[in-house]
Amino acid sequence: MEAYAIWNNKGGTGKSTIAFHIASRFAEKNPNRKVLIIDLCPQANASMLLLGGGLTGESNLLSLCSKPTPQSVVGYISECILNRTTPTLSNYYIQVSSLNDQMPENLYLLCGDGNLELMAPAINDEASRTPFPGLSDPWKWVHEIFVRLRSGLEDDQWTIFFDTNPSFAIYTELAICGATRLLVPVNADDSSRVAVKALFALIHGTVPPHPFFGNYTFASKIALREMPPPKVHLAIGNRFTQFKGAAAAYAAFSEATAEQLYTEYKSDSDRFSSRKKPPTNQKQFISKYVGELRDFNTAGVVAAHHGTPLSKMRQNYYPVHNDPDVKVNKSQIVAGLQAIDSVVADIDP
């Protein structure tokens, strides 16, 4: 079973938007599988989109999170820590179509929750507590909460997607530990190239390690415990087509980010998911490890606002807040869906 963390520790690269479009389309294309989205970002943006978008998504989210036992990541992690157990997942996830009938029936959500930020110090305390008989490594036990969730699911039936927060907080660490693979949204700018370097440093550490902080890092802690980090499966160039007038400049930026990735690949290809035929030059590397999502334009904005997958959008006028008549063109829907499908085709069950 693969579990994909959609992660980049640079904010606003499109993680939640991609989680929404890719997971829902993957579920549509794989009707015999169950697809679980675990929203480990306290902003819960992906959850809001999946739960109907706009005010509907927000109100559905609030009702799940404000139950006496929150039906969310906060409820799930709380039970783990309070009872030192692996909770029954079905007590916490929801079938997305029960609240948003535009969504396929095989899509499930362990909902995001703003209180995840408030409970983060408690998760940290639990991870750093003194070992005692019966719990010899609290750090590992806490960081494997979602590894245990995964091993409780039937291997051949489920595929998991984590949405993450850009900060490298404890809840992001839990997502990284729970994932087998990474999908890394990048934009065509210099900060994306730098963020790619940071991503490898956070998971694999630096050479040489920092003389003082080196022993405190997440990278050194997972290495010490031989916990396998997720492998980079695909970098997703998001919105590369946004600035039409400056296409050449943006192509250069995306090339620079791809070059950075290829440098990492050449230094240790084991940090990437394997391909039948490994690439031997940068061009081949890009074709195998870099996907591209165009700017979704009005169709994408309206789809997200209504919590509707692009496959269910039709050429029409849609209401968006105070504007009752936002026009969505068929050509935009088709182009957006083609881009999503080409990325989904690269995602293994």
Ligand X SMILES: Nc1ncnc2c1ncn2[C@@H]1O[C@H](COP(=O)(O)OP(=O)(O)OP(=O)(O)O)[C@@H](O)[C@H]1O
Number of other CB atoms surrounding residue 89 within 10 Å: 16
Phi and psi at residue 196, to the nearest 5° = -65, -40
Return the number of the residue (15 or 150) whose C-beta is nearest ligand X: 15
Residue 9 interaction partner, one of Mg ion, ligand X, none, beta carbon < 5-8 Å per kind: none
166 binds, among ligand X, Mg ion, none (CB under 5 to 8 A by kind): ligand X
Nearest Cα to 4, choosing from 231, 270, 340, 268?
231
Contact between 43 and ligand X per CB under 6 A: yes
Contact flag: residue 241 with ligand X (CB under 6 A): no
- How far, rounded to the nearest angstrom, does the alpha carbon of residue 275 sit from its chain's CA centroid? 21
From 3, 4, 5, 13, residue interacting with ligand X (rule: CB under 6 A): 13
The listed partner (ligand X, Mg ion, none) that binds 119, CB under 5 to 8 Å by sort, is: none
Which three-class secondary structure state does DSSP give residue 126? helix
* 107-110 vs 34-39, strand pairing mode: parallel
If one asks whether residue 8 binds Mg ion (CB under 5 A), the answer comes out as no
**Is residue 17 within the footprint of ligand X (CB under 6 A)?**
yes
At 314, phi and psi to the nearest 5?
A: -125, 155
Q: How far is the CB of 301 from ligand X (least distance, A)?
A: 6
Is 15 near ligand X (CB under 6 A)?
A: yes
Q: What is the 3-state secondary structure (H, E, C) of 174-187?
A: HHHHHCCEEEEEEC
Report which residue type is found at 234.
Answer: L
The full DSSP string for 284-348 is HHHHHHEEEE---HHHHHHHHHHT--GGG--SEEEEETTEEEEEE-HHHHHHHHHHHHHHHTT--
Out of 25, 28, 40, 45, which residue is the one contacting ligand X (CB under 6 A)?
45
- Using CB under 5 A, which residues numbered 15 to 54 contact Mg ion? 15-16, 45
Give me the residues paired with residue 145 across strands: none
Q: Is 23 in the site for ligand X (CB under 6 A)?
A: no
52 binds, among ligand X, Mg ion, none (CB under 5 to 8 A by kind): none
> Minimal distance in Å, beta carbon 73 to ligand X?
15
Give the nearer residue to ligand X in terms of CB position, either 40 or 77: 40
Return d(Cα 36, Cα 312) in angstroms, integer.
20
Taking CB within 5 to 8 Å according to partner kind, which of ligand X, Mg ion, none is near residue 293? ligand X
Report if residue 24 touches ligand X, rule: CB under 6 A: no
Positions 150 through 209 that interact with ligand X (CB under 6 A): 166
17 binds, among Mg ion, ligand X, none (CB under 5 to 8 A by kind): ligand X
Kindly state the greatest CA–CA separation across the chain.
64
54 binds ligand X (CB under 6 A): no
Q: Which residues contact Mg ion (rule: CB under 5 A)?
A: 15-16, 45
Q: Which residues contact ligand X (rule: CB under 6 A)?
A: 11-17, 41, 43, 45, 166, 238-239, 293, 295-296, 300, 304
